[in-house]
Amino acid sequence: MKVGPARSGRFMENQQPTSNPAPLPLGMEGDDGLHVVASLLSGLEEAAGASPELRRETAHENHLVQVRLGIASALFASLRAKHAATASHCLRVALGCSSWAAAIGLSGHQRDILETAALLHDVGKIGIPDDILRKPGRLTNDEYLEMSGHHEMGLQILSACCSNADLLDTVRYSRAWYDGSFSGFEKQGDAIPLGARMLVIADAFDAMTTDHVYRRAMSRERALAELFRHAGSQFDPRLVEQFHRELNADSFSAHADAARSWLANLSSEETNRLWGLTQNDNHQTRDCTIEDLFHEKLLQSMHDAVIFVDRRQQVLMWNRAAERLTGIPESTVVNKLWSPSLIDLREEHGSSISDNDCPLAYAVESGVQTLQRLTLRARGGNEIAVDAQVVPVFGEDGSAVGATLLMHDASSQISLEERVQQLHRKATRDPLTQLGNRAEFDRVLALFVTSHSKQKRPCALIICDIDHFKQVNDTYGHPAGDTVIVSFAGVLKQLWRPGDLVARYGGEEFVILCADCDNATATQRAEAIRGEISSIMHPELGNRPITASFGVTEIQPGDTAETMLRRADRALLQAKDSGRNMVVQLGGGLPGQATAAPAAGWLSWFRQSPKKLLLDRQLITMVPLQVATEKLRGFIADHHAEIVSIEENRVILSVDVRQSSTMRRSNERSVAFALELRFSENHSAGAENGGTRIQVAIRPKRNRSRRREETTDRARQLLVSIKSYLMAYEVAGGQIPGSDADD
């Protein structure tokens, strides 16, 4: 996969068709909710209104951009009006670049140029037709070529209102490849402006860690692996290394610091000097009403899927039930054009529904409600039946302004979320917080790991701990401490989503199990909780706030409940060691695509029938040797492995592997292995960045022929786990020199 400028454009939306997670339909009994909400929405006049949360977030972003760009914020406002998702991406990239520039000590002038270029680097999408920019599926070749032209359009727009050569060059060369292989640019290597080399890395990283209709967001670690894979060709290798170091040091992950810097340090005169214009700030925001909050709460808590479209068939709302039913996140489909093909909507007998026969388009044109049985493609591609009711929405003048689609799962399947909720209701609760208790967490964690591993669906674990809680008890007393814990639990309940498990693990420590959630999404949720916690003032503490630290991880191949918990706990310890009040994420998550093993894969063991060597595999990871050894430390810690010897680039470990994924059967038999790893830099022909080559050999400590099959299964499990931790894939290769594979 090429990251960023894929030879004719950057890591753009619409490059791939929609890819949904594994099946997880939501089955509910009865359809009362369908008809009740249909009647409520049939008279709704402002179907096009954004949610209160989105309006508040947009108002804050508008204020930041106006302070940073002055009168030139009109360009950004035009981009937001054209395509809000692109504008939000530009703002995130700009804040990330700002924090990065501050961390490495760039001058004020360099930082101003980089921030402004990042905010406006995609402004050319204003000139892309809506049917291409908002298309939810794969672009045709002609459409892709037209989309690729947005970069030149952006330069034309900026050149018409900006005479600063540094800013224009930063935007112009943000599409150039470091090795010069991307045609059309006369500069390459260090001749490319520093700001452009930084911008392309931050741009690609944000694109990879953001949800899109055609794919879920990558975890931070997998995105970093992609950057390393293309370092030296597409990206400046030294800047990729620097980006990795600063990201691990949390130097520029906190966008709030950059935002505060913008608001505190920039004046209208300074920010307008690039444009030679005067500032005219007439920005107004509309406060949300109590009625808005009730509507938002109602729609998001429904068990039936609700989708709003306007008369142009643009998606305005996609509630959580629609996310669960289809597997498509709201953030990736809102403001895009609706089409029955988006969810493969079909007639009950299986025939496809064309855009001309779309029930929503018919409702807008005719003003008639319809109720029919249809089928759609749910998570994982399986087909399920739904009762679909389409309700036209009328404006004050009596004309249709849009339509609402309500879908009730008519299948008999019971989702994982519902089963977890049933277990949660029956299980015992923590008496103080009324959250789940430790015993419930232990049970459900094993269920999560087993189910999600089997179905190859992501799930995440968040561990959070109140900072300096002992001081609260010592200073203000235990009653005050209990009040703080109850308040903390209240925030977790407020941000809890159906299908999750929130539990008090013990004392001031809490855990959240997130179903169908990857590292990127879980980290965003942890950041939201962290921000909410730190904003609450506690009267019992003298109107002071508290803070909390968070460790986040996602299930990855070879995980057990125990290794997943250890990895999250290790992330929490890193957050505390780094200063507290922060979120640290570890683990690469599930791979996007399985890498095919060579023909001599697992079957080679049966052909060789070695006495000692069970598995001998050659792996390659695209990260440098130093990063690979850091990942190995995590494997050793999470698996309680013992280091037997270390000789230059050769490590021998002793590891015990259990068959079950639950932690509670301490008397279960385990198999002891000797794990040998040899690390070397990868100098294979054609490798873009080399990376690291790892030769892995696995031997049982004891030969027991009657347990040979069980031992082999455990060895395979161990190999899958080490590949996941090292973000490595398997290649055909020779055996380790001096091994006893042929003994």
Q: Mind telling me the catalytic residues?
A: 508
Torsion of CA 660, 666, 671, 675, to 10 degrees: 90
Q: Which helix (H) or strand (E) holds 241?
A: helix 237-248
Contacts 24+ apart (CB under 8 A), 562-568: 562/661, 562/663, 563/638, 563/639, 563/721, 564/445, 564/449, 564/461, 565/445, 565/461, 565/663, 566/637, 566/638, 567/634, 567/638, 568/461, 568/462, 568/463, 568/511
Assigned token pair, 59: 């108002």
Assigned token pair, 173: 């060369």
Report how far residue 383's alpha carbon sits from residue 25's, in angstroms, rounded to the nearest whole number: 10
Sequence-distant (6+) residues with CB within 8 A of 362 are 368, 370, 390
Sequence-distant (6+) residues with CB within 8 A of 621 are 225, 628, 691, 692, 694, 726, 727, 728, 729
| CA 273 to mean position of chain CA atoms | 37
- Alpha-helical segments (H) within 387-540: 416-426, 438-455, 469-476, 478-494, 519-534
Helix (H, G, I), strand (E, B) or coil at 545: coil
Report how far residue 62's alpha carbon sits from residue 59's, in angstroms, rounded to the nearest whole number: 5
Amino acid in the structure at residue 496: W
What are the backbone dihedrals phi and psi of residue 627, each rounded to the nearest 5 degrees, phi first? Answer: -70, -40
Buried b (16+ CB within 10 A) or exposed e, 453-466: beeebbbbbbbbbb
How far the first Cα of the chain sits from its last, in Å, is 41
Assigned token pair, 321: 């039930």
The CA-based diameter of the chain, rounded to the nearest angstrom, is 87
Report how far residue 62's alpha carbon sits from residue 262's, in angstroms, rounded to the nearest whole number: 13
Report how far residue 39's alpha carbon sits from residue 242's, in angstroms, rounded to the nearest whole number: 56
β-pairing verdict for 459-466 and 400-409: unpaired
Assigned token pair, 575: 């957050």
CB-neighbour burial class of residue 675 (10 A; exposed 0-12, middle 13-18, buried 19+): buried
Torsion of CA 205, 207, 208, 210, to 10 degrees: 120
Strands in 615-621's sheet, in edge-to-edge order, are 642-647, 650-658, 670-681, 692-700, 615-621, 728-731
Helix (H, G, I), strand (E, B) or coil at 186: coil
Dump the DSSP string for 335-387: TSBP-GGGTT-EETTS-B--GGG-HHHHHHHH---EEEEEEEE-GGG-EEEEE
